[in-house]
Amino acid sequence: MSSLYLDHNATARVRPQAIAAMTAVMEAVGNPSSIHAAGRAARAAMEHAREAVAALIAAPASTVVFLSGGTEANALALESAVAAGTRRLIVSAIEHDSIRETAAALGVAVELLPVTADGLADLAWLAERLARWDAADGKPFVALMLANNETGVIQPVAEAAAIVRAADGWLHVDAIQAGGKIPVDSRALGADTLSVSAHKIGGPQGVGALTFGPRATLSRRQHGGGQERGRRGGTENLPGIAGFGAAGREALAGLETYAAQGAWRDAAAARLKAVGAVVMGEAAPRLPNTLCIAAPGYTSDLQVMGLDLAGVMVSAGAACSSGKVKASPVLSAMGQGDLAACAIRVSGGWDTTEHDWNRFADAWLEAHARHAARRKEPA
């Protein structure tokens, strides 16, 4: 039986256009910082990619800084805010580990922005908290992701931005899961900094980007030869950047194709709900490719293993915990503690079809039926 990969929120299959772009620059020679012909050609390839990534998030190319991935992009935003004088960070309770762990390591106070049962940021809480901000804590800093990597829930970022700006604060938006799946306009969203990653959209692993607006002051992430406008020294990962640019162009052109997955996902979810499964964040707007579903009494690890035996690959949440399967802090923050250990995430990609979603539902229902039968067997 052929395998079916439905874990694109962890990493997407690399697009052929990205492979071609990477191959082309690897077959050439030249450092983007060199001024001879080969260096100028390398620089041109890099800036062409920068323009494509900028277009993906509707940002000026001059504000796009290439980094080693989304984790570093998020870290640069938080570290820059602290370097600029912020002494207290507000991060949403559903942020990725790269936000929460970086915030915890910076030696400043950290507060969690709570979310509703549907996984949406509590903006009333945010407005009240910023209204009594202590000037001694410096400029307010708020991190709110655009779309959650586990549930797919899309956050009210523009509304949050209005609240943050009214308090003269800095809003960082992790758009790593949203980029290439829904339209992203970093300026219309009101983001002061916004991060994206190549491998979530069909580019290579190991390259990401951060865009910054005029209200953000980025610090130097890495000392060296002044690359990336002095914010990250070291010779740029030109093959990765070229692949990122190619993937960004394809992702932007294929947004409508991605949107079609919403109906396929919902049809699959309806079949699972008929036997008692629960969709996380169902009442909120979600990414069209993402389904987070829990089955009471059927733990996440058993679901993942059962599907894997059927050749269907999904995850038990974020794939950034060294292969561990553990209860999701995102679902716990949503008040779904009883179901947090019984949820899986199914995520389609740029090459996922309606048949793939149907096959997933078939495999899950078969595995669920076997599990239910075993639970009924006498001890």
Q: Which of 112, 305, 320, 325 is catalytic?
A: 320
Rounded CA-CA distance 184/286 in Å is: 14
Active site residue 342: no
Catalytic positions are 320
